[in-house]
Structure 1
Amino acid sequence: MQFTSKQRAYLRSLAQNIDPLFQIGKSAVSPEITAAVSEAFNTHELIKLTVLKNCPEDVKTAGIMISERTRSDLVEVIGRKIVLYKQFHEDPVIKLPRK
């Protein structure tokens, strides 16, 4: 999904108030991390992850890999934080600004 600048800014503002659910460490983007993030999208539309300094992968690369594997949208990568968004199919909780 392509976000407009207003939609991306809205999601970033919501992400400021949430704590990271997962930490990616020296095992990098493993199948276990991917499965856990996919499972978390059953109850959350917006997820924040932290990439630790001992992770062998680049933060942006890790964010892209996780978003592709979970079929979610990469909202932002800032510092060592990754924010992902996946809209609920039936009844979305987060109402994005109109395009």
Structure 2
Amino acid sequence: MSKKSKLQDIKALRGIGHQLDPVVIVGANGISPTVIEEISRALHDHELIKIKIPAGSGEERKACADAIANATESSVIHHIGRMVLLLRNNDEANPKLSNLSRFGFA
């Protein structure tokens, strides 16, 4: 995949992300095993999800987003403020649940 094609894909994914509501909100207790499990389940079902992370400095929010991505084996597509857009492809995703399929991306 060329660099330009990859950037176009990221732009398209970010466009889909604007239309999504957060499916998981990470509370003041932070990243617990239960939260990771719920995010992982949502990624399995929907492939592309938006989550809301706790307030903090930009560096703290970036570290939180990266920690969640590492724990769920997903990729951070975009993060701005407290919103994080995560992607984990699932070859066996249900087309009725997958945000990629629903928005014609896959």
TM-score normalised over the length of structure 1: 0.81
Q: Distance in 2 between matches of 1:87 and 1:51?
A: 22
Higher helix share: 2
The yes-or-no answer on 1:58 pairing with 2:56 is no
Question: Relative to structure 2, which stretch is displaced further, 2-11 or 33-42?
Answer: 2-11
Q: For 1:46, which of 36, 45, 48 is the aligned residue?
A: 48
TM-score normalised over the length of structure 2: 0.76
Aligned to 2:96: none
Over residues 37-75 of structure 1, what are the superposed CA-to-partner deviations in whole Å (9 max), with x where a residue is unaligned? 111122101110112337xx8111111011111111110
Q: For 1:70, which of 44, 64, 72 is the aligned residue?
A: 72
Where structure 2 has 5 or more consecutive residues not aligned to the other structure, the ranges are 94-99
Q: Distance in 2 between matches of 1:41 and 1:83?
A: 11
Q: For 1:30, which of 4, 29, 32 is the aligned residue?
A: 32
CA root-mean-square deviation: 2.3
Paired residues of 1:25 and 1:53 also in contact (CA < 8 A): no
Where structure 1 has 5 or more consecutive residues not aligned to the other structure, the ranges are none
Question: What percent identity do the matched residue pairs reach?
Answer: 26
Q: For 1:14, which of 13, 16, 21 is the aligned residue?
A: 16
Q: Distance in 2 between matches of 1:51 and 1:40?
A: 15
